């Protein structure tokens, strides 16, 4: 209470007015967007606004918050590290938090993935993976391997390489002409009660086979979000599809990059989606949940064989890439504390319990009159509004967000897809509240006129 007052030295109105005057928010059309909501503090799955309202964060604040907001163990780890060493240049120097974190990550990932390159966020972890894969082939004297494969609906971040790889998401119209070409494969999205999955998978594999037959020798790598495409609409595929892809890529010598920026750190039920799927990529991108959602930090982890290809007498073979805050000690300390929490037996049990609850709910939705394609994996659950039934248009999304906010819920639909990706500390009651609100919104859309 007093904390809130001390932090909120500006009135809510003044905060919002100054925000409007000076700030530029991401993915926002400021002219039509509602005023931003000023947040004073957070605890567990809850955010507390400066006007005293409580909002339950069911999307982990864009998929980063892992153990809840202002989690005290992580907060303390950051404070202690800040008093010892806040930052140091990471060329020619190293430090214990980075060494311990890299060792820890290597120990958690499947054997073979044990060389860690740190960067700042999901997009940079993807840039690093694409550049590593590209230069790897140059260093290996196969410079003609320049092409990349990705999936329709894939999203990999907003920097240029990540945008190129994520062209299938359809988010980048203004920049289209600047992006390097990437070949997109169809993604065999599936859901509960889908009887066409085998057909879709066969079509994807056939497209891959056709590409590899003609261009296998020119292709550097395939990048994908394993098991769940996040921003593309929480589209899920079966583990067996990934298992069927691997031998094809291996035969053609094409590297496999898993972008686990969203799926990493327990979201799919296992620590990493690659483990849930039973496949091992050549490179893996991690960020979002890495620090428990406290600080920006990312890691691109690869097989040691890739690292070896960058060794040599001259700098021309080295990886000429880095960021000012590479392996920031505060981020590493936060990540170590977050991993302690994540590996605790109670957290593993909680992840399983969330998945059971999600699955029980989607089971009930199989024959729902207005909700389509129910699907759940790990702590992620999603359904699509029946866009034909409700006369869907993009204009409906702000109405959906407002509907949920009115009920004290932060749920942010991706087009017609409504999903939950809650922090692991979410309670059963909070989940039930969210399920109920989603069923309620579907009902409400049915009984009110769709927007023109």
Ligand X SMILES: *Cc1c(COP(=O)(O)O)cnc(C)c1O
- Answer yes or no whether residue 372 interacts with ligand X by CB under 6 A: no
Residue among 63 and 404 whose Cβ is closer to ligand X: 63
Binder of ligand X out of 145, 147, 156, 276 (CB under 6 A) = 156
- Answer yes or no whether residue 293 interacts with ligand X by CB under 6 A: no
* Reduced 3-state DSSP string for the chain: CHHHHHHCCCCHHHHHHHHHHHCCCCCCCCCCCCCCCCEEEEEECEEEECCCCEEEECCHHHHCCCCCECCHHHHHHHHHHHHHCCCCCCCCCCCHHHHHHHHHHHHHCCCCEEEEEEECCHHHHHHHHHHHHHHHHHHCCCCCCCEEEEECCCCCCCCHHHHHHCHHHCCCHHHHHHCCCCEEECCCCECCCCCCHHHHHHHHHHHHHHHHHHHHHHEEEEEECCCEECCCCCEECCHHHHHHHHHHHHHHCCEEEEECCCCCCCCCCCCCHHHHHCCCCCEEEECHHHHCCCCCCEEEEEEHHHHHCCCCCCHHHCCCCCCCCCCCHHHHHHHHHHHHHHHCHHHHHHHHHHHHHHHHHHHHCCCCCCEEEEEEECCEEEEEECHHHHCCCCCHHHHHHHHHHHCCEECCCECCEEEECCCCCCCHHHHHHHHHHHHHHHHHHHHCCCCC
Residue among 42 and 154 whose Cβ is closer to ligand X: 154
- Answer yes or no whether residue 188 interacts with ligand X by CB under 6 A: no
Binder of ligand X out of 44, 68, 97, 122 (CB under 6 A) = 122
- Answer yes or no whether residue 362 interacts with ligand X by CB under 6 A: no
Q: Which stretch binds ligand X (CB under 6 A): 49-57, 210-218, 255-263, 434-442?
A: 255-263
- Answer yes or no whether residue 267 interacts with ligand X by CB under 6 A: no
- Answer yes or no whether residue 155 interacts with ligand X by CB under 6 A: yes
Residue nearest to ligand X (CB): 122
Binder of ligand X out of 59, 130, 184, 261 (CB under 6 A) = 261
- Answer yes or no whether residue 262 interacts with ligand X by CB under 6 A: yes
Binder of ligand X out of 56, 101, 121, 335 (CB under 6 A) = 121
Q: Convert residues 219-238 into a mask of x (bound to ligand X by CB under 6 A) and - (unbound).
A: ------x----xx-------
For residue 228, the minimal CB distance to ligand X (Å) is 9
- Answer yes or no whether residue 287 interacts with ligand X by CB under 6 A: yes
Residue among 61 and 446 whose Cβ is closer to ligand X: 61
For residue 62, the minimal CB distance to ligand X (Å) is 7
- Answer yes or no whether residue 126 interacts with ligand X by CB under 6 A: yes
Binder of ligand X out of 68, 153, 157, 233 (CB under 6 A) = 157
**Positions in the binding site for ligand X (CB under 6 A):** 121-123, 126, 155-157, 225, 230-231, 259, 261-262, 287
């Amino acid at each position: 209470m007093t904390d809130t007052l001390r932090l909120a030295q500006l009135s809510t109105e003044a905060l919002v007015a100054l925000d409007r005057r000076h700030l530029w928010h991401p993915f926002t059309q400021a002219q039509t967007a509602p005023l931003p909501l000023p947040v004073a503090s957070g605890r567990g799955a809850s955010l507390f606004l400066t006007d005293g309202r409580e909002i339950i964060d069911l999307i982990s604040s864009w998929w980063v918050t892992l153990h809840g907001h202002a989690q005290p163990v992580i907060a303390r780890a950051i404070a202690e590290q800040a008093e010892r060493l806040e930052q140091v240049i990471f060329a020619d120097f190293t430090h214990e938090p980075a060494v311990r974190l890299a060792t820890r990550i290597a120990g958690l990932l499947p054997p073979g993935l044990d060389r860690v390159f740190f960067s700042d966020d999901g997009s940079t972890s993807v840039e690093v993976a694409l550049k590593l894969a590209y230069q790897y082939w140059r260093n290996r004297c196969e410079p003609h391997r320049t092409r990349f494969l990705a999936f329709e609906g894939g999203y990999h971040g907003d920097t240029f390489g990540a945008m190129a790889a994520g062209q299938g998401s359809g988010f980048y119209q203004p920049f289209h002409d600047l992006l390097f070409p990437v070949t997109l494969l169809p993604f065999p999205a599936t859901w509960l009660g889908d009887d066409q999955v085998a057909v879709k998978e066969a079509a994807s594999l056939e497209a891959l086979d056709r590409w590899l037959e003609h261009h296998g020798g020119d292709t550097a790598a395939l990048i994908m979000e394993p098991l769940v495409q996040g921003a593309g609409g929480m589209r899920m595929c079966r583990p067996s599809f990934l298992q069927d892809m691997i031998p094809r890529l291996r035969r053609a010598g094409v590297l496999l990059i898993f972008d686990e920026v969203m799926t990493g750190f327990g979201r799919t039920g296992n620590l990493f989606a690659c483990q849930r799927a039973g496949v091992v990529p050549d490179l893996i991108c991690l960020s979002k949940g890495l620090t428990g959602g406290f600080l920006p930090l990312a890691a691109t982890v690869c097989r040691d064989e890739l690292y070896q290809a960058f060794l040599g007498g001259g700098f021309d073979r080295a990886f000429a890439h880095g960021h000012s805050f590479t392996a920031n000690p505060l981020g590493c300390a936060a990540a170590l504390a977050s991993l302690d929490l994540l590996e605790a037996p109670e957290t593993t049990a909680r992840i399983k319990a969330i998945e059971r609850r999600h699955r029980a709910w989607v089971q009930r939705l199989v024959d729902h009159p207005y909700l389509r394609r129910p699907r759940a994996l790990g702590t992620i659950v999603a359904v699509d509004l029946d866009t034909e039934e409700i006369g869907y248009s993009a204009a409906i999304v702000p109405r959906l967000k407002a509907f949920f906010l009115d009920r004290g819920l932060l749920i942010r639909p991706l087009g017609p897809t409504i999903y939950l990706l809650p922090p692991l500390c979410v309670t059963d009651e909070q989940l039930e509240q969210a399920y109920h609100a989603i069923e309620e919104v579907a009902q409400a859309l049915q009984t009110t006129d769709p927007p023109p």
